[in-house]
Amino acid sequence: MRVADLTTPALLVDVDALEANLSDMATALPGSRMRPHVKAHKTTALAARQAAAGHTGFTCATVREVEGMAAAGLGQDLLLANEVLDTRRLGTLVSEGARVTVAIDSEPTLRAAVDGGVAEVLVDVNVGLPRCGIAPERAGWLADRARAAGLTVRGVMGYEGHLMMLPDVAERARLTQECMARLLAAHADVGGDVVSGGGSGTWAMNTWVTELQAGSYALMDTAYTAAGLPFRQALTLLATVVSATDATGDMPAFAVADVGLKSLGMDHGNPTVVDGQVWFCSDEHTTFGPEGPIAVGDRVTVLPAHVDPTVALHERMHLVRGTGPDAEVLDVWAVDLRGW
C-alpha cells in the first residue's frame, strides 16, 4: 500500500523520524532512565518500539492504558502516574502477573490502592503545578501511612508540567531545579529507589529524576517544536483538499482540507498546514489560504499542534517510509489504548 491509497484523514508516522527520536532519547537516557509515557501515542505497537530501544518501564495516564500495555506483553513495570479511586482492574492485572505501581496523594487514593489489590505505589508530590500531588512536607507522612497499610512505597513522583513550554530555556532550567528540589526534599522523607518526573520539555535539564516520564518526544507536535526540542516531527495528518475557491473582490483564495476538530486536538490552537496559512477549523474541515496553486483532490500535510489529544481521536496510525504519494505504508498501528 502507498500513501496515495489511504482514506483521509490519516495519521502518518515517519518511521525514520520516529526511530531517530527513540534512538536519540535512548542514547541520552538509556534503559530505566527513561519511562516513556504512553498517553502521548496510545499505541502499543509504538510502545513496543520504545521497549526495543531499551526502555522496559512505561508510564500510563489511565487504567485502560495500563490494561492495554499488559495485554500487549509490555507489563514488566507499569506506572499509572495518576490518582484513581477504583483500582480493581489494576489489581486484576497484578494478580495476572503484571507489575503495576499507582500514584497516591491522599488517604482515599492510598485506600483505593489497598482495596483494589495494588501493592506498589509512588507518592505523588506537588512540585508547583496546581494539579495532583501532596504538599512536599506531607509526603513522608503519606508514605508512612501507606507502609502501615501494607503497601510498598517505591519512591516519589512529581511533574513540572507548567514548565514544559517556557520559551526561555534558561528560565525553564532554573525553575525545573526549584521544582525538583521540592521533589528531592519529599524523597528524603519518603525513601525508596524511584524519583520519577519530567517530560519532553525538560528532558535535557531535569538531571535529578531517576527516570524521566517523557511521551511527546516520540511523535512530536508543533508546540514542542516551537519550544526548541531537538526531536523531529514524526506525526503528520494527511488530508485531501475537498474544495477550493478562487480570490474574489477582497476575499483571497482559500481551500478546504478534510481534517478538523474531529481529527485534531485543538487546545494548543490551530494546526499547521504545510504550504498554507490556516484560517479556521470546523468539525471536519480546515479552511486555509494556500501559498501556491492548489486543486481539489490534492493531498496536503497537516502538523498537529498537540499530539496527545490528536491521537486520541484516531483509530489507527500509518507507519510510512519516505514522503509524498508514492511513499510506502509499512504498517498500520491500532491506537489501541483509547478510552478509560
DSSP character at residue 26: H
Backbone φ, ψ for residue 152 (5° rounding)? -90, 120
Inter-helix orientation angle 63-71/88-95, to 10°: 20
For residue 80, the tally of other CB atoms under 10 A from its CB is: 23
> Which amino acid is residue 139, in one-letter code?
A
- Of 51, 281, 302, 303, which lies in the binding site for a copy of itself, with binding defined by CB under 8 A? 281
- Of 61, 179, 194, 209, which lies in the binding site for a copy of itself, with binding defined by CB under 8 A? 61
- Of 17, 84, 212, 214, which lies in the binding site for a copy of itself, with binding defined by CB under 8 A? 84
List binders of a copy of itself among 310-329 (CB under 8 A): 312-315
CB of 281 to a copy of itself, least distance (A): 7
CB of 264 to a copy of itself, least distance (A): 9
CB closer to a copy of itself, 53 vs 290: 290
> What is the residue-wise DSSP string for 33-102?
GB--BGGGT--HHHHHHHHHTT--EEEESSHHHHHHHHHTT--SEEEE-S--S--HHHHHHHHTT--EEE
Binding string, residues 64-83; x marks residues near a copy of itself by CB under 8 A: ------------------xx
For residue 300, the tally of other CB atoms under 10 A from its CB is: 23
Please tell me the distance from the alpha carbon of residue 155 to that of residue 158, in angstroms, as a whole number: 11
Binding string, residues 147-166; x marks residues near a copy of itself by CB under 8 A: --------------x-----
Name the one residue in this structure whose C-alpha cell is 485534531.
264
Residue 103 contacts residue 62 (beta carbons within 8 Å): no
Residue 45 contacts residue 65 (beta carbons within 8 Å): no
174 binds a copy of itself (CB under 8 A): no
- Of 4, 52, 85, 149, which lies in the binding site for a copy of itself, with binding defined by CB under 8 A? 85
List binders of a copy of itself among 283-312 (CB under 8 A): 283-285, 287, 295-297, 306, 308-309, 312
Binding string, residues 225-254; x marks residues near a copy of itself by CB under 8 A: ---------------x-xxxx--x--x--x
Handedness of CA 270, 274, 276, 281 (dihedral sign): negative
CB of 138 to a copy of itself, least distance (A): 10
- Of 44, 126, 196, 301, which lies in the binding site for a copy of itself, with binding defined by CB under 8 A? 126
Backbone φ, ψ for residue 36 (5° rounding)? -55, 140
The C-alpha cell of 243 is what? Answer: 474544495
Please tell me the distance from the alpha carbon of residue 285 to that of residue 119, in angstroms, as a whole number: 47
Tell me which residues touch a copy of itself (CB under 8 A): 7-9, 39, 61-62, 82-86, 105-109, 126, 130-133, 135, 161, 240, 242-245, 248, 251, 254, 256, 258, 261-263, 265-267, 279, 281-285, 287, 295-297, 306, 308-309, 312-315, 338-340
